[in-house]
Structure 1
Amino acid sequence: MRWLIEQALKKRVITYFITTLLFIGGAASFFSLGQLEDPPFSIKTAVVVTNYPGASPEEVELEVTDRLETAIQEMPQLKDMYSVSRAGNSYIRVDIKDQYWSAELPQIWDELRRKIGDAQKDLPPGAQESMVNDDFGFVYGFLLAITGDGFSNKELEDYAKIVQKELNLVNNIARVQLWGVQEKVIYLDISEKQLSEFRITPETFLYTMKNQNQVVNAGSVDNEQERFRIAPTGDFSNPSEIGELIISPHPSDIMTNAIHALKEKGNIENILTIMSKESEQFITLKDLATIRPGYREPPMTLMRYDGNPAIGIAIAGTEDSNIVSVGADLDQRIEEIMEKLPIGLQLHKIAWQSDLVEESVNGFLISLLQAIGIVILVLIIPSGLRMGLIIGIDLVLTILGTFIVMSIMDIALQRMSLGALIIALGMMVDNSIVVSDSIAVKIREGVDRTKAAVDAAMENAFPLFAATLVAVMTFYPIYASTASTGEYCASLFFVVATALLLSWAISLLLTPIKCVDMIPKPDPSTKSSTGEFQGPFFKMLRSILRAVIRVRFLTVAILGGMLVASILGFGFVTQLFFPDSSRPQLMVDIWTAEGTRIQDVAKNAAILEKEFISDDLVSSVSSFIGSGPPRFYLPVDSERQNQNYAQLIVNFNNFQDIDAFIAKYKSWVGDNVPDGMVRFRKYGVGPGDPWKFELRITGPGEADIESLRTLGNQIINIAESSPYGRDWRFDVMNPILKLVPEFNQKVGRLSLVSRPNMATATKRSYDGVQVGLYREGDSLYPIIARNTEYERDHLLLTFDNIQIRPDFATWTVPLAQVTTGLENKWEDSMIARWNRRREVAVQGEPAMGSTFPTLRSNVIDEIKKIKLPPGYELFWDGEYDSTKTSQDSLLPGLIPAGVIILLLLVLVFNEFKPVLIILMTIPFAIIGITCGLLVFNIPFGFMALLGGMSLVGMMNKNIIVLLDACNANYRDGLSRYDAIVEASVSRARPVFLAAGTTILGVVPLLPDIFWVAMAVTIMAGLAFGSLLTLICVPVFYSILYRLKKPGGES
């Protein structure tokens, strides 16, 4: 190392040339870095959906869900399963263990597909093929709404498809999808009377439609040297032509009527006459039915923008793209598209990731530049312009060098990587401060400039290297964490490690040459005759140190009392996993009772839309009815499809207006939307949970749902009595009524009527049955036969008169003839399971101004008093599980990090007492942290934890250098007492200088809601930690080395 330092000083041209390259390379790398709002992390969730039409929730659970879960649980990567069995549908959410990150997930999803594929043979007849969706975490960062005043739904969809095709052509676009498109169908409204009169069966419809509108291969023909393809006409060119279709009786219908006639008349000639007439019968479809092109009723999803019907256009960029550049290209293309669209048609931005990323990154860069400026200014004031420039240049070089490494490692500019630079700012300048201060002291003492530079760099090389590695290793547990937070914060560790190691290298190789060239020659007239550290400040500090050493045990007792008080006081600090995001958006969830029609849910949403749009704080309101919107923000899951659910995305002009908006409307929605539960939800940062309070009550495999719900009601009663919670509900919704025609097997057999015949008749009477397909371009639209509107509206009054047609028969039997009655019965609309056990989850949110830990601590004692039946358990999910998982996942990294840190400390000092001094001093930093969080009323969460880890690294570095200076003094002949006192005095200026630069350097982070907890932790902790370094270390040193008096030895 000495050789390198000497060569850097001797060959100045090469050194300055490398410095210039570092400047240029760093600047170029900065402009080539990608830009993101948040660091990417994998959503370790897939969804398995299986339709089983006609099956009850219990049948779906036992015959589909349970069999699929049995196959899935064989996967060793499985963490949790959550399933919902509804009538005709099975939904299974598969969560993979946190230790598997993005690169390993594709192989895991392939294995999941194989398991599900192998299980298909075990599914019952009638169950459709299972679909595995591993794109559950796919993010559409750009979300548009297309609206048009006076445009029909079809016209809106047609133009939306044009926009979709155009945007798909933009560079670095991975996917463009439409949301809220209604399924087109062609309804044939046919009365029961007409079907009976004309003796038309569903088989006749299917037979006729299939023959008429299918794609046919008519062959080809040669003509001399050419060959022509034969393409006959006759298919439908528009829906009106369907009415002209001649209904041809199915051969089985003709035979059935003949047999029926044989039974009645017994004359073969009459039978032949009937068969001949029926085969020649010409009936057009319009004679039987009203043909009505339209949309599937009821719709699956609906969308509105500012109260107007809309279609969503969700756009996703490629993974390796620069989101800001993608957004700029999209903006340009949208301007071109808008010029071609008809007047009245508008494209509206709901979420635009590039704008948020640009704002976020620019905000961080401004904070970083402010921090750098503050640091340099703080250095210049006490140290002079030249010394401030020396350290400031080192800081800029370190940051630029870090950009080069980030470019090589493909780390984008995002919340964590830029935050890491600010976190490491104080530690980065510390290396240069120590080296440059040591060089300046030696020069002022008259040592040759080059020798002073080399000696000062060498004296501090190993202690600073060890201290830097110790600081790096304090962040290692975050990187080693197997939880999603580890993946989210991985870039933080790499950036901090790079910046600190670069700062160490720069302080040894580049700082000495700048000090030699820039530090002025000492003025003999100003040189103190009493020594370097004999000014008033140093004399006062020396007196304080001797005083606290003299009453060392009293000092420890006072500090110990303060530590105990701070630990007790920490209990009054609110806890928070991750803070809210500063996105100027708000989610408003609407839950109505299970069984509510989607049209009524839309009416509730319209009430909120109208009120919210009129508020001056709001810029736009988008409604997604029947399902959550596409995932346009990675940490927020999109709600699965539910007819009784809607979500409003409210955009604001300013993020600060959201709290006032919630306070204004929280009670208003309860009065104006009495039929549903309305929840206001801010966007969070980092891995989060849909419900912060989520307590699952699990029972045996086939536990009674009502028993689970009864236990859940006890918990909700406790929770509702707490002032710290709100928005309580069950994940398993309320029971619903079903109509149960009691089928008479005996009469049914005599009438040739089966259960499927009855089911087909009741389905046709209202929802309709598909009898064919209409082809238009590249789309296929179902043709659905159903009863007339009048018959559908009065169906419940005439239910017994529904006409049931036996298989291949042209006569009908009324439903009342084959049933013993019609009953209304209650059924559980859904059956939820958690890890294969039936469950009911109590879900809720902390009240405004409260946090989940506060809410949980307020209700936990009463909840524990609930007596659970044998086999029933409580499982805390939501924020509790996420926090616990994240904290537990730090343990695997703490052990190797702790071992390496202890090893480094022992290597530096070659004895255990200095190591023990460090371990005894660090915990006292809690005093400053607790005071800071309580005074500023800041919750302690993951970001405060990061600040604490950063603080430990800074304090470790200061203590290591101080104790190393003490050992150097002792080797130079000073007594241990004088060695520790003089080391503390000589380190005071670098310690306070580093502390000042760090504390003031994080001031720009205070307005940021995400970083404020970390900034306060560092500021308060370091302010107190700097005093600890200069006072506690000498006190503990004097105790462990048994110092007796000034000049005395043990």
Structure 2
Amino acid sequence: MSIASVAINNRVVTLVLTVVMLIAGLYIFNGMSRLEDPEFTIKDALIITPYNGASALEVEQEVTELLEKTVQQLGELDKVTSKSERGLSTITVTIKEQYNKETLPQVWNKLRQKIDDVKYYLPPGAGPSLVIDDYGDVYSIFMVVSGDGYSFKELKTYVNDLQQQLLLVNGVGKITTFGEKSEAIYIEFNRSRMAQLGISPEIVAAQLNGKGLVVDAGRAHVGSSSIAVSTTGGFTKVSDFEKLLITHDTKQFYLSDIAKVSRGYVSPSTQLINFDGKAGIGLGISTVSGGNTVDMGEAVLAKLSELESQRPAGIEFGYVSLQSEGVKEAISGFTSSLAEAVIIVIVVLLFFMGLRSGLLIGFVLILTIAGSFIFLAPMGVALERISLGALIIALGMLVDNAIVVVDGILIRMQKGESAESAAPRVVNQSAWPLLGATLIAILAFAAIGTSNDATGEYCRSLFQVVMVSLLLSWVTAVTITPLLCVMYLKAPKSTDKTSPYQGTFYTKYRGLLASSIRHRYLSSASIIGIFALSLWGFSFVQQNFFPSSTRAQFMVDFWLPQGTHIEETQKHAESVENYLGNLANVEHVTTTIGEGALRFLLTYQPQQSNSSYAQFLVDVDDYTVIKTLIPKIEVELLQKYPDALVYASPFELGTGTAGKIQARISGPDTDVLRETSDKVLEVFSKESNTKGVRTDWRNKQLYIEAVLAEEQANINGINRGMVAEAIKESFEGVTTGVYRENDLLLPIIIRANENERSDITNIENVQIWSPNAQKMIPLRQVVQSFETKFEDGLILRRNRERTITIFADPVTGTASELLATLKPQVEAIKIPPGYTLEWGGEYEDSSKAEKGLASSIPIFILSMILITIVIFNSLKQTLVIWLCVPLALIGVTAGMLATNQPFGFMALLGFLSLIGMLIKNAIVLVDEINLEQSQGKSLINSILDSGVSRLRPVAMAALTTALGMIPLIFDAFFVSMAVTIISGLMFATALTMIVLPIVYALIFKAENP
């Protein structure tokens, strides 16, 4: 008994299961997790190691090198990059692609253990090393709390209270602040007065520590009890510091006699944030792992509304990113596109198949989509751009199987057979070829589903959705579809039971097909010529990786010369902020100074800490204005700030890196690296179509070197460290303890008073304590000279090699076009022996993604060929089918050139899926030829009759797929894929219905018609 017979004979069970599947699918759909874009795991961790006082070179040689060597012992390591700067080592550890979010925590534990093991080998004064493994966390809500007339202390108090309340909200994972200003107790000495009194800062620091320390006074054994003992006398308020009695020799005086005590903010700040020109504190809120971003966002907004009455007057919230709203809008848009595509497909079916047949197939389509959610949800597939787009892509294929079954039943009914008899026979005839064709269509997407890289992870739901929905479409085609045909299809009223293919359209097609086969060699030569022309034309198609986002927000990166003080950067940033805020179509401007913002989007890559850097996140009322705003902003800001680097860019979709064009120069000597990179920089800068040309080493920085007079220093008992401490204490300040205030620990910083620390020219008169002379002496007595020099402020490495990266982006056109112009010029530069040139950026990202596909594509192509062989048990018929596959390129080339769309990664996926669609159609046609021959017809008549009989289902399958893709043409992410499939499928299907019979006639040597 056939599958269809079982379904028909047990119609109550079949119908009940159908209703259950429909209702369950719709119910599960409503509860599925929702995201704007699919998640992919950022496999990076940071190792931050301070080494105060060390130059970038010393940090590199003494800290970074040691830690990198340790990191390279990780078997899971993909690459290690590092940045060494004065006083700080930052190492980025990237893990191999095959490790996912489930296995990464174990890797990070191993990394921590290795870093912990090596801490004893760090130089004195270096460390401790901090491993940050949540670097890739995404804060789906990023807001700024500000308030006119409120101090940072008051803002911080409110934010801390708010943080405690929001942490209790269901779905909230972690809350992180950004741009907080920490407080400190400042003790500003009058060094001249201290010199007169003969007191050193160390004496004062020791007495401050003695009074501020928490010391264990032990326990007393009293009777049967053990009673703790504590002491008082610590600092309880700031004024207590002024009353601290300093004793030195026989002298006593209050701290207020020699120093000014104040409470203030730690200066300089390392990160600042403004929203629409108002300074504030950023608040990033992430969703718990596996949580629903929309539900969490709505819950947080509801909590904020509930707490509204407790918000002080004047406190404002500015939303930099509110993913829940963006996700709702995006999902609504995707769902609308899906609904539009379904309607388009059903309308096409109604038009070509008739009312009953069209409604029947339309119902099966909706059932298949709903049923797919039942299986997708347990697989962890969320509703997002890729998964919903995949459903739209699959729509046409989802009705293919049902169309073949319904069309076959209709044809038999037109010949006088009953639906009850026709349904099982049609399913028996076509079920297994259709299953094979379905598996082939699925395998066309399998390469992306099995790719381990970030791009594969990003697009994985595409394969999962196609696999589940297509398999389910086959199941519904051989079960519920024949049952519904039996229940609702009516026999045609016409009594002509000879042939249903007597219409003008079929007659003309048969004539064209017969003529083409008669002139098979000329026809074949023509097709080969057209194919060769398409190959040539494809060289003119633009190339890219992923398109820009349609997010109504863009970034402006603003770099002042390396070494610029953050307060100077802040002053310029506030001016730029004011300029941006006054531009037409700009709604809000968020400014981060000192580093990039929290990662509020998965594809956003925050800039690491740098005092000369500011970034502006600009919200506009319509994303279409971004294209005109970006060049305007870049030109006008560069005119106003000629020493700055200004680079504006939209957000990108998919994976990728900053700087679409990247040239990496690696080698041992910093001077040779800079000299070589300058040549590359010159090539990049001379090209008129480049912008944002820069290097990651940036300019050399000015520094002052105090040359110690060794003999005089020894006489006074002074060493290098003491000189460094005195200079730092005078100009920046030295932390000497902590002040406890409830749960706060405020650093106690001693430094020179403002007059003394604000004048660098007075450095030689800085007072330093001489242990041997027991008095303060000026630095000039122990320092031979103060020399002004330049140094590499940043030293970057890649896989333990010093590496300078030169960045650029195209002003117009694609990165691939710009790279084609720049690459030969750069590669013409003579690279010194021992140095290497590599290309990164979009070129590298695209190559890695394509390599990830290329490694598995041959396996799946071979599997598709084997399935074809199994279906027909014939090598010749398999060859006929696969010779038609290249024809897809003809339509793809024409479509890409006509629409001026680039052939990117998504277009490549579209092309792979196109192969599956074409083979599926070809299988239907070849299977029909076999059926016709089995009924005793001649080969040529079998070919002609099969072409005519399969014309409607094949054309319908192609038409529904192509028209169903129309909503994706308006989606920036899918447009290139949509154009690839629509143009490729329509051209290739039309050609297949002619070319496949020609090739079949050639290979099997059919007689002329």
TM-score when normalising by structure 1 = 0.94
Is the Cα contact below 8 Å between 1:205 and 1:772 reproduced in 2?
no
Q: Give 1:202 shift.
A: 3.0
Distance 1:698 1:799 in 2: 39
2:564 is equivalent to residue 596 of structure 1: yes
Instruction: For 1:352-751, list aligned pairs within 5 A.
Output: 352-523=322-493, 526-528=494-496, 530-700=498-668, 703=669, 705-751=670-716
Distance 1:101 1:222 in 2: 56
Is the Cα contact below 8 Å between 2:715 and 2:772 reproduced in 1?
no
Change (3 A) 1:17 1:243: same
Q: Which residue in the other structure is 2:1001 paired with? A: 1038
Q: Give 1:936 shift.
A: 0.8
| 1:398-446 Cα deviation digits (max 9, x unpaired) | 0011010012212111111111111111110000000000011111111
Q: Secondary structure at the match of 1:162?
A: helix
Q: Give 1:688 shift.
A: 1.2
Q: Which residue in the other structure is 1:756 paired with? A: 721
Q: Which residue in the other structure is 1:145 paired with? A: 144
Q: Give 1:529 shift.
A: 6.0
- Once the two structures are overlaid, the 10-residue window that deviates more, 94-103 or 931-940, is 94-103
Q: Which amino acid aligns with 2:513?
A: L
Q: Secondary structure at the match of 2:855?
A: helix
Q: Which residue in the other structure is 2:244 paired with? A: 245
Q: Secondary structure at the match of 2:775?
A: coil
| 1:245-288 Cα deviation digits (max 9, x unpaired) | 22244xxxx4xxxxxxxxxxxxxxxxxxxxxxx2xx43111111
Q: Secondary structure at the match of 2:583?
A: coil
Instruction: For 1:200-239, list aligned pairs within 5 A.
Output: 200-217=199-216, 232-239=231-238
2:955 is equivalent to residue 992 of structure 1: yes
Q: Give 1:210 shift.
A: 2.1
- Once the two structures are overlaid, the 10-residue window that deviates more, 24-33 or 708-717, is 708-717
TM-score when normalising by structure 2 = 0.98
Distance 2:701 2:221 in 1: 66
Q: Secondary structure at the match of 2:48?
A: strand
Distance 2:144 2:971 in 1: 30
Q: Give 1:711 shift.
A: 1.2
Q: Which residue in the other structure is 2:88 paired with? A: 89
Q: Give 1:940 shift.
A: 0.8
Q: Which residue in the other structure is 1:50 paired with? A: 49
| 1:216-249 Cα deviation digits (max 9, x unpaired) | 4556789999998766543323222211122244
Q: Secondary structure at the match of 2:177?
A: strand
Q: Secondary structure at the match of 1:805?
A: strand
Q: Which residue in the other structure is 1:275 paired with? A: none
Distance 1:561 1:890 in 2: 30
Q: Give 1:205 shift.
A: 2.2
Specify which of 834, 848, 852 is matched with residue 889 of structure 1.
Answer: 852
Instruction: For 1:196-345, list aligned pairs within 5 A.
Output: 196-217=195-216, 232-249=231-248, 254=249, 278=250, 281-345=251-315
Is the Cα contact below 8 Å between 1:424 and 1:950 reproduced in 2?
no
| 1:603-646 Cα deviation digits (max 9, x unpaired) | 22112211121223111101000010011111122111001111
Q: Which residue in the other structure is 1:156 paired with? A: 155
| 1:108-132 Cα deviation digits (max 9, x unpaired) | 2122222222222222112112111
Q: Secondary structure at the match of 2:416?
A: coil
| 1:838-894 Cα deviation digits (max 9, x unpaired) | 1211111111x3111001001111112111111111011111111111111112321
- Once the two structures are overlaid, the 10-residue window that deviates more, 944-953 or 323-332, is 944-953
Specify which of 882, 900, 913 is matched with residue 937 of structure 1.
Answer: 900
C-alpha RMSD over aligned residues: 1.7
Count the aligned residue pairs: 1009
Change (3 A) 1:807 1:183: farther
Q: Which residue in the other structure is 1:257 paired with? A: none
Distance 1:632 1:248 in 2: 54
Q: Which amino acid aligns with 2:341?
A: A
Distance 2:363 2:102 in 1: 39
Q: Which amino acid aligns with 2:588?
A: S
2:781 is equivalent to residue 824 of structure 1: no
Q: Which amino acid aligns with 1:566?
A: S
Q: Give 1:200 shift.
A: 2.4
Is the Cα contact below 8 Å between 1:581 and 1:1009 reproduced in 2?
yes
Q: Which amino acid aligns with 2:695?
A: F
2:991 is equivalent to residue 1028 of structure 1: yes
Q: Which residue in the other structure is 1:777 paired with? A: 742
Structure 1: gaps spanning 5 or more residues: 255-277
| 1:533-564 Cα deviation digits (max 9, x unpaired) | 11111000000001111111111211111111
Q: Secondary structure at the match of 1:58?
A: helix
Q: Give 1:353 shift.
A: 0.8
Change (3 A) 1:78 1:216: closer
Distance 2:371 2:157 in 1: 52
Structure 2: gaps spanning 5 or more residues: none
Q: Which residue in the other structure is 2:109 paired with? A: 110
Distance 1:225 1:332 in 2: 55
Q: Give 1:772 shift.
A: 2.2
Of all paired residues, the percent bearing the same amino acid is 38
Q: Secondary structure at the match of 1:408?
A: coil
Distance 1:527 1:228 in 2: 109
Instruction: For 1:1006-1017, list aligned pairs within 5 A.
Output: 1006-1017=969-980
Q: Which amino acid aligns with 1:441?
A: I
- Once the two structures are overlaid, the 10-residue window that deviates more, 73-82 or 370-379, is 73-82
Is the Cα contact below 8 Å between 1:338 and 1:346 reproduced in 2?
no
- Once the two structures are overlaid, the 10-residue window that deviates more, 727-736 or 239-248, is 239-248
Q: Which amino acid aligns with 2:432?
A: F
- Once the two structures are overlaid, the 10-residue window that deviates more, 970-979 or 223-232, is 223-232
Is the Cα contact below 8 Å between 1:201 and 1:808 reproduced in 2?
no
Change (3 A) 1:809 1:333: farther
| 1:894-925 Cα deviation digits (max 9, x unpaired) | 13212211111011111111111122101111
Distance 2:400 2:569 in 1: 60
Q: Which residue in the other structure is 1:797 paired with? A: 761
Q: Give 1:52 shift.
A: 1.0
Change (3 A) 1:807 1:482: farther
Q: Which amino acid aligns with 2:578?
A: K
Distance 1:529 1:19 in 2: 34
Q: Which has the larger radius of gyration?
A: 1
Is the Cα contact below 8 Å between 2:144 and 2:319 reproduced in 1?
yes
Distance 2:930 2:396 in 1: 25
Q: Which amino acid aligns with 1:1030?
A: M
2:933 is equivalent to residue 970 of structure 1: yes
Specify which of 318, 326, 349 is matched with residue 319 of structure 2.
Answer: 349
Change (3 A) 1:808 1:206: farther
Q: Secondary structure at the match of 2:736?
A: strand
Distance 1:484 1:800 in 2: 55
Q: Secondary structure at the match of 1:91?
A: strand
- Once the two structures are overlaid, the 10-residue window that deviates more, 536-545 or 189-198, is 189-198
Distance 2:38 2:1007 in 1: 55
Q: Which amino acid aligns with 1:521?
A: A
Distance 2:381 2:373 in 1: 9
Q: Which residue in the other structure is 2:72 paired with? A: 73
